[in-house]
Structure 1
Amino acid sequence: MKRITLYLLLVLGINATAFAQKDAEAKVILNQVSAKYKAYNIVKSDFTFVIDNPQSQTTITQEGTIVVQSKTNKYKLSLYSQDPTAKNLVEQEIITDGKNQWTYTKKDKEVQLNKVDNAGESFNPAQIFTMYEKGYKYIYTGSETLKGRVYQIIDLTPEDIDKSFFKIRLMIDKTKKQIYSALIFDKSGNKYSYTIKTFIPNVQVPESTFTFDTKAHPGVEVVDLR
């Protein structure tokens, strides 16, 4: 579970130092995606996350939901059970109010409370649609048509060569100007894919969405690591 969460957050948002050379065509496309996303207050997306391990010939699939308020650095990430008979059962949650972060694991009956790392090196799902802006070079590699929709393909390469992955391939809906999927190429040979199933802009949610409600989770131990 920890490894699944790590790579999910990796694709949802990464910060690093800026890379000097960028592909002009890719930049135009990515800027359109970023501008459209930033025009919304809160975005809610359902997604599918898949780990493909060719060495062991295994595939792990997990469904989830993320609610993001990027302007305030707030989000709620929910991962659901992999058990097909309990698809809507929340297995893990990561919630932040911009200052504090709660990581709740249901099976452990525990929530860890940490300060949000704003140093620029932390994983940050609030930057799901703007992650390319820092720490990557990028190149437009062409388009692909799936089920009648045209997707523009852009490859991101991290500046930090010590990262465990060497490339992220984005598929962007040409008409909607939205990220449809991201595929991480890990140096181990594994592939991690993230596909957006739904995208609901300006969704109305209570402010309490971005804090962990201990009353709604009786018996859960709070471990304060701040």
Structure 2
Amino acid sequence: MRNSKIKVFTIAFTLIFLLGSLSTFAQGDKKSSAILEAMSKKYQQIKSFKAVFTYTPKGEKPLKGEATVKGMKFRLKMAGQEIFNDGKLMATYIKETNEVNLQDADPTAGGDLDPTKIYSAYKKGFKYVYLKEKKEGTKALDVVELTSTNKSSQVDKVEIEVNKADKSINAWKIFQKNGQEVVYKVEQFQPDVNVADSFFAFNTKQYPGVEVVDLR
């Protein structure tokens, strides 16, 4: 039960920050490439950020999540769990059981889905194509479809909505190979937040009676 919960949580989180390092060339048409490059450039200039989002599994009600990222450090709260990563140690706290699982932070383990390598994983493991333009209130959005080229990936494809005006991500929809679908929508985004490094480290004193499971 413990491993299953961690796995589901980690997949959900990493999908939210689906876009990672600019290490390889991608496969896509010129229009979609230009949109994704502009979006990626925007977010790479941000040193830290805090994001509030909703995620809605198909057929279910929207749920809320919150993430803070600073360089290689991150902290995420979602689905009754919270991940702390200070760049050296990753702690996954499970509220229901009041336990925390400790692991060494491996910067290569996340691969394309590393949440600290934001907004450009389309550069590796995906091919993409421009789908359409759509309206949401007063916002004009470009919709780009990313299809996974990694046979071992649990993700089949992703549809990303990019705001034409400021190149920010408005929402995205994940299609998994098992048929599951989840829609993520950015509700609030605060760039360059002032946050101490200690915020990303799990402090047992703040969680009375917590059971520590050291998996290192």
| Range of TM-score over shorter length | 0.7 to 0.9
Q: Which runs of 5+ in 2 are unaligned?
A: none
What amino acid maps onto 1:77 in structure 2?
L
Percent identity over paired residues: 33
Q: Which runs of 5+ in 1 are unaligned?
A: 53-57, 81-90
Aligned residues: 209
CA distance in 2, matches of 1:177, 1:131: 16
RMSD, aligned α-carbons: 2.2
CA distance in 1, matches of 2:19, 2:215: 23
What amino acid maps onto 1:33 in structure 2?
M
SS in structure 1 of the partner of residue 116 of structure 2: helix
Contact 1:113 1:225 in 2 (8 A): yes
- Shift of the 192–25 alpha-carbon distance from structure 1 to 2, 3 Å rule, reads same
How far apart are 1:163 and its partner, in Å? Answer: 2.5
CA distance in 2, matches of 1:182, 1:78: 19
1:105 aligns with 2:110: no
Match of 1:199 among 166, 179, 189: 189
Which residue pairs with 2:28 in the alignment?
Answer: 22
How far apart are 1:125 and its partner, in Å? Answer: 1.8
CA distance in 1, matches of 2:138, 2:19: 31
TM-score, normalised to structure 2, is 0.87
* Match runs of 1:1-226 below 5 Å: 1-2=5-6, 3=8, 5-13=10-18, 21-52=27-58, 58-69=59-70, 72-79=71-78, 91-119=80-108, 121-122=110-111, 123-226=113-216
SS in structure 1 of the partner of residue 184 of structure 2: strand
How far apart are 1:103 and its partner, in Å? Answer: 0.4
CA distance in 2, matches of 1:39, 1:19: 20
- Shift of the 120–103 alpha-carbon distance from structure 1 to 2, 3 Å rule, reads closer
TM-score, normalised to structure 1, is 0.83
Contact 1:15 1:120 in 2 (8 A): no
What amino acid maps onto 1:68 in structure 2?
V
